[in-house]
Amino acid sequence: MHRLIFATHNQGKVKEMRALMERLGLEILSADEAGVHEDPTEDGATFEENALKKARFIVEQTGEWAVADDSGIMIDALDGRPGVHTARWAGENAGDEGLIRHALEELKGVEERRRGASFHSVVALVSPGGEAWAFEGVLSGRITVLPRGTPRPKLPYDLIFQPSGSDRTFAEMSDEEKNAMSHRGQAFQKLKTFLSSQRVVHS
């Protein structure tokens, strides 16, 4: 493996992954940079199913190694919702503010001790030959009563998710602080460890 295609059109995610994988000597490309401008339908029942589906789609289109991630938040008092529907449960065009408003409305009247939640992320790696691996990151915390912090584009829940052991929401942390503990950071670190230990990377 000389290069890896990340099944995303989000250049912010690609930048993060390039920084993380820098020492492996891999060239990291976005889906767009690899000439893939379409996405498969994310209709999996789990984060792992969706991540694998996205990575396999890239492999089918390019014949190269691919990686994809799928993430979401699970709220205890809502029986694990929104889960895989994290980005869409308030409606297709709700936007970041609509998602926050919907989440807080769903938890209206729920006391603080019952506002537990966890962020989940699964990173899937698929080879040109169809072999597949999945790496999961989980971070527990709670949903705050009001939004706090500086919003990040397309990451609305950062304003209302407070990780266990911290007195701040993700949105009140720097990128470095958040990435050091985040669910996505955990999953990508596991991917990095796997790639470092395998003989699939050739600089």
C-alpha distances out from residue 128 to 1, 63, 141, Å: 10, 5, 37
Residues 142-166 pLDDT 10s: 999 999 999 988 889 999 999 999 9
How would you class 19 by CB atoms within 10 Å of its CB: exposed for 0-12, middle for 13-18, buried for 19 or more?
Answer: exposed
How would you class 104 by CB atoms within 10 Å of its CB: exposed for 0-12, middle for 13-18, buried for 19 or more?
Answer: middle
Spell out the domains of the chain, with CATH numbers in brackets.
Answer: 3-197 (3.90.950.10)
Q: What is the pLDDT along the chain (203 residues), one digit of tens a residue?
A: 789 999 999 887 888 888 878 888 889 999 999 999 999 998 999 999 999 999 999 999 999 999 999 999 999 999 999 999 998 899 888 899 999 999 999 999 999 899 999 999 999 999 999 999 999 999 999 999 999 999 988 889 999 999 999 999 999 999 889 988 999 889 999 999 999 887 655 44
Residues 100-119 pLDDT 10s: 999 999 999 999 899 999 99
What amino acid occupies position 117?
A
- Considering 32, 39, 43, 70, which one is annotated as catalytic? 70
Q: Rounded CA gap, 39 and 97, in Å?
A: 25
**Residue 39 falls in the annotated catalytic set:** no
C-alpha distances out from residue 65 to 99, 113, 135, 184, Å: 34, 44, 16, 20
